[in-house]
Chain A
Amino acid sequence: MQKDFHYYATYCAAFIAGFTHEESMDICYSAQFVDLCSKTLLGKIKAPAEAATTQLQLELMDTRTDTAGLQEITRIWSSFHFLPRDLHAVRKSASKKYLNKYRLICGTNSNLLEKTVKLAKDKGLQAAGIAMHVLADTWAHSYFAGTPSLVINNTDYYFYELIPEADGFSERPIRFRHNPSAPDDLENSIYVNCLYQNNENSIMNLGHGRAGHLPDYSCVRYKYMPAWGDYSEIVKDNPSDYMKAFTQMIYALKYLRGVNDNFEKDIYDTEAVKPLDDEIKAILEKRQLDACDDWQKLGERLSGKEIEDFDIEKYQSEYMQAEEKNDTFLGRFIAAALAQKSMVTYSIFSTGNKLAGSSLVKKTSHFGMRSEDNAVKGLDE
């Protein structure tokens, strides 16, 4: 997903869930910051590089695709943007190597999603924001894996956009081009995607690169054949999925606020959005590449307050100048990011899958208290 959903829509969801304007701003800032917290930025503010929640294009170009490099990539992308749906998935006649990648395919309503949301409970607004980013991305990035893999993430010419018409949908073939400077053309279904690379572990085969930005546009519906699908057809209805993401975020945020006792999969707070149903659907269905303005207007109408533009440097000087960094906004974000990464990496590692590296568990202390936060080490195999 993009800034329109991670920042502005998350603000709307937080406000509807009952958070104040200031709390909603902290949550949505954290949600958006997940897409920007790279090693480069952390290096600039002298923060631990292990807390990176994304990798910039330039960083990816420099990352080696040997075992250690692939593990680092998988740790970041699977933990924050492509949360695996089923780490115990079974597939007939699949080799261990293939199965490990297959099990990293992102999907909604997974056990890991429950853990993600529950991990953020009572951990502050920054943790809530990170959890909302992860939750939202499970809806947009379904069917792709957060590890470079041609056999999982590749797509081919069989890619059609479903255009709504009076009595159903018409299919329009999607044309992909490799010109990153040219904007996507919604009118003619011409989109930018990553170049085809027949190397299994090429960066071009990471996540939904082969489908371009299609998963991140709320107005688009499309069907395609994923490489892992054995010729089955996947239909992605982004307006519907984004609405589910929005209502699930509200439900999750109410749990984090203490309104609900529990967070369970596949539950959506549709009641809360009933008065705004038509308006939200109109935003999601509107054919535009960026819905920031619409979501911002909705959020400002809900709260009556101005939603300031996202400023990546807002909290950086606070962090750099503080003596107690853990008490700063970014300090709390970093702690939450590390916890999320640890949890996901350990979950993947505990199934015998080393694609995200090894994960060490702190032993039970002599106080009888067991640490939930596992230390994560990017050890080479």
Chain B
Amino acid sequence: MNDLSGVFVIDIHEDIARKLRKHCNTLYTLGSGTMALGVWSAVQIILIVMNTPEVIFPQEFQENISNSVYVIIMLVVTVVMILLSIGLYVFTGSRARAEGMGKKRRSFYIVVVAFLIIVHAVTAVLSIINIFTFNDNQESLTSIIVSIIVNATSIYILSDMIHSAVMIRILRRNAETGKE
């Protein structure tokens, strides 16, 4: 009878193995959270389109086209932006989850995560600036503050994801070379 006797011999140090499992678990969890962040980005896009449509379609061009064409263009652009945005988050989230579960390891998604961190950072900074230049014609103060908080949280999640992904690579390399 194959007898494990309660001990499974692994070929890397137990401490490294445990850290590896911890970071894989973190990556898996954060990957799941990142996919949900795509919903927030979709909400943000919709809010921008509703509150400040001139950001997507400048006022001067609206005069040259009929209302229905304008609406169709806005809809199409909005949907495309939402799909792209959600697609980015789902892509990075699913790659992170896959790596967390020990499946194929790819690194391109880390670049995308870094890009998303920059996007969130810029959005957060713009929101902070909005607070100082706040007037009654802008979106409400509450939504600005919410936007700052969510963006800050997103930055934290995405940064932690990069940290975990990097740690996994370092630990695996250490395991292969026998370092602690």
Contacts and interface: CB of A to CB of B under 8 A. Distances in A.
B101 interface: yes
Nearest to B3: A240
Given A157-B101, A239-B1, A231 B25 contact: yes
Given A239-B1, A240-B5, A233 B17 contact: yes
Contacts of B4: 162, 169, 221, 235, 237, 240
B2 A164 contact: yes
Determine the main DSSP class of A at the interface with B.
mixed
Given A232-B14, A281-B1, A158 B6 contact: no
Contacts of A233: 8, 17-18, 21
B173 interface: no
A281 B3 CA distance: 11
Interface in A325-362: none
B21 A158 contact: yes
A372 to B, nearest CB: 34
Contacts of B101: 157
Nearest to B14: A232
Interface string A63-80: 000000000000000000
Contact of A240 (B6, B18, B19): B6
A168 B3 CA distance: 10
A158 B20 CA distance: 13
A223 B8 contact: yes
Nearest to B20: A231
Is the interface on chain B under 10, 10 to 19, 20 to 34, or 35 or more residues?
10 to 19
Contacts of B1: 239-240, 281, 284-285
Interface residues of A, number: 23
B22 interface: yes
B3 to A, nearest CB: 5
A233 to B, nearest CB: 7
Contacts of A232: 14, 18
Contacts of A158: 21, 25
A225 interface: yes
Nearest to A285: B1
Contacts of A311: none
Contact of A235 (B2, B8, B19, B25): B8
B69 interface: no
A125 to B, nearest CB: 31
A289 to B, nearest CB: 19
B89 interface: no
Interface in A186-212: none
B170 to A, nearest CB: 17
A266 interface: no
Contacts of A162: 4, 8
B7 interface: yes
A237 B25 contact: no
Interface string A232-259: 1101110111000000000000000000
Nearest to B6: A237
From B21, B22, B28, B101, residue with most partner A Cβ within 10 Å: B21
Contacts of B25: 156, 158, 225, 231
Contacts of B8: 162, 223, 233, 235
Interface of A: 156-158, 162, 164, 168-169, 221, 223, 225, 230-233, 235-237, 239-241, 281, 284-285
Given A223-B8, A225-B21, A231-B21, 8 more contacts: A162-B8, A232-B14, A233-B17, A236-B6, A237-B3, A239-B1, A284-B1, A285-B1
Interface of B: 1-8, 14, 17-19, 21-22, 25, 28, 101
3 tightest A-B CB contacts, nearest first = A237-B4, A235-B8, A231-B22
